Amino acid sequence: MSIGAITRLSTDRLHQLESLLISNKLPADDCVDRADCFYGMFDNDRLVAAGGLETVGSYALLRSVVVHPRYRGRGLARVMSEFLLQQARSQNIAAVYLLTETAAAYFEKLGFSHVKRTQVPAEIANTRQFSSLCPDSASCLMTDLSTG
């Protein structure tokens, strides 16, 4: 198995993204609408890891970092997350937010901290992912990129 470099997902690959998200119980309803924000890693022609960075104003929402179960334990989620955070830094994003029901401890290890949903900037709170796709029970985390 040879996993390729991270690439922006083309529209003809969105069905693979949707399938990977749904099979991992993650929201997939707006993938087509937000196709421009998703990246993936492939083993030959199979999407094995993905994630998105939805930029709104000077903030971004880290979206749907997911790894196919057979490819877990290889550091792919970390590689994808670090890539997306680097993308945010290169766009001079001040802070990156995320919602998760299962991976809060993982993202804390990457420098994210818990915040109340009421403390999230309006630009993030008004995204479809934040306002309607992720349940209210999801933990909200953020990392401040403006300090270094």
Retrieve residue 79's tokens: 């590689």
At 75 the pLDDT is 95
Whether residue 18 lies inside any domain: the answer is yes
At 72 the pLDDT is 94
**Which residues form the domain of 51?**
7-144
Closest-CA residue to 81 (of 89, 71, 92): 89
| Total domain count, the chain | 1
- Strand order through the sheet with 7-8: 7-8, 38-43, 46-56, 59-67, 95-100, 139-144, 113-114
Whether residue 84 lies inside any domain: the answer is yes
Q: Give CA–CA dist 7/84, Å, rounded.
A: 11
Whether residue 1 lies inside any domain: the answer is no
At 137 the pLDDT is 82
At 70 the pLDDT is 95
pLDDT in tens, the chain (148 residues): 578 899 999 988 999 999 999 999 888 888 878 888 999 999 999 999 999 999 999 999 999 899 999 999 999 999 999 999 999 999 999 999 999 988 999 999 999 999 998 999 999 999 888 877 576 788 999 999 987 5
Whether residue 71 lies inside any domain: the answer is yes
Whether residue 96 lies inside any domain: the answer is yes
Whether residue 2 lies inside any domain: the answer is no
**Predicted structure pTM score:** 0.92
- Provide the Cα torsion 59, 81, 7, 88; round to 10°: 20
Domain CATH number, residue 115: 3.40.630.30
SS3 of 97-121: the string is EEEECCCHHHHHHCCCEECCHHHCC
Phi and psi for 143 in degrees, rounded to 5? -130, 135
